[in-house]
Structure 1
């Protein structure tokens, strides 16, 4: 039996703990029969011959840029069957200026409205708010979310612009709703996808927006979503 291959690509903004976060899931992949390669640069996406044999790309890269040949290589690999998976800004706030990447993933981080300005201290926790992750009707039958109930978190609540709300190419498994508060400029609640999947050619894409830091990834519900999502996305 041929061993499966996973590629972990990590880097960008250190606040998302790309090394510590991905290290949590490498043993899980290895226990499921994956040979894991770790890279701290997206240059590996331009290695077409190598990427063609990768079953799963786990990406945790936030707020950086990507070269044209790299995103073309990633798109080609996913279209041919390589899975792409990730969480939080490591997948939906990776390369803000690259339209080809955004089309592949199907969603883009737009904000994480935080506490009242008078409560802010300049720390990351300024953006930590209590919120609920709500399963959609489709979640009950999907292998990533089957058996999971709605759950609550106190962390960044991602406001996401996503295709699933308009073009139907994203299958939304969970949502989160940003409330209207007296200091906010919007006037009605805003519901964003929190967990979704996307088919692209022969490949699969999995996104989980919770996962700001390792303590969020250690939440049993989030950990289960990510672990199942990795296996689901894989070739």
Structure 2
């Protein structure tokens, strides 16, 4: 049976929204999805189109969303449309929308950088070695089954999250001599969320295509999209 997906992509170019989403389109096709691509969240206000959509994949860092658009997104998810994405495309989108933040239950706050004297002003200033720890409770979850904790060198997201996230993996940010915080801090890195009849999936690794091509990251996102779909 054919399913319908909507891809919403754009915002800050540094996250390569077009190349990043293109990476996953063959996976959707292979699993029976027919998709449409949009460069703004305006489609969320189209109630008929949203009601017929099984999965939304969003990669829209920062940017803005109108009230009728975010209310349309809320209504669709509550009625059973799935919502999935990674990194800033979902947890650093629409910063000024309280409704979107409530829907997601999580928001990017920070990514620590290298030692100040080693910074050059490039994105790589924030590429740090760190571990994504798969929780023991997620060992049999369909998104993370068979995946062990793994290491990355990329942005490590500090995420503010509420108690309704079903966390599958975490990452721990150390407290280094130049950091203003005084002890290590553990944040969600991969999670799901139930909202009404809908499912939400988010993964914080995914800064650029090379991170998305990591076999563990790619597998988690591919499975996460299928899990979220109606």
- Give your verdict on TM over 0.5: yes
Segments of structure 2 that go 5 or more residues without pairing to the other structure are none
Distance across 2 between alignment mates of 1:85 and 1:101: 14
Measured after TM superposition, the shift of residue 19 of structure 1 is 0.1
Measured after TM superposition, the shift of residue 136 of structure 1 is 1.1
Describe the SS at the equivalent of 1:141: coil
Measured after TM superposition, the shift of residue 193 of structure 1 is 0.1
Measured after TM superposition, the shift of residue 99 of structure 1 is 1.1
Q: Over residues 184-221 of structure 1, what are the superposed CA-to-partner deviations in whole Å (9 max), with x where a residue is unaligned? A: 00000010000000000000000000000000000000
Corresponding residue of 1:105: 104
Describe the SS at the equivalent of 2:137: helix
Corresponding residue of 2:28: 29
Measured after TM superposition, the shift of residue 60 of structure 1 is 0.1
Name which of 222, 225, 229 aligns with 2:220. Answer: 225
Corresponding residue of 2:94: 95
Name which of 172, 175, 185 aligns with 1:177. Answer: 172
Distance across 2 between alignment mates of 1:129 and 1:205: 27
> How many residue pairs align between the two structures?
230
Distance across 2 between alignment mates of 1:50 and 1:63: 24
Describe the SS at the equivalent of 2:114: coil
- 1:86 and 2:94 aligned: no
Corresponding residue of 1:211: 206
Deviates more, 1:87-96 or 1:137-146: 137-146
Q: Over residues 96-133 of structure 1, what are the superposed CA-to-partner deviations in whole Å (9 max), with x where a residue is unaligned? A: 11111011111000000010110000000000000000
Distance across 2 between alignment mates of 1:41 and 1:120: 33
Distance across 1 between alignment mates of 2:29 and 2:9: 17
Describe how 1:45-56 pairs up with structure 2 within 5 A. Answer: 45-56=44-55
Describe how 1:25-174 pairs up with structure 2 within 5 A. Answer: 25-163=24-162, 167=163, 169-174=164-169
Corresponding residue of 1:193: 188
Measured after TM superposition, the shift of residue 70 of structure 1 is 0.3
| Structure 1 vs Structure 2 CA RMSD | 0.6
Runs of 4+ with >4 A deviation: none
Corresponding residue of 2:197: 202
Distance across 2 between alignment mates of 1:89 and 1:105: 12
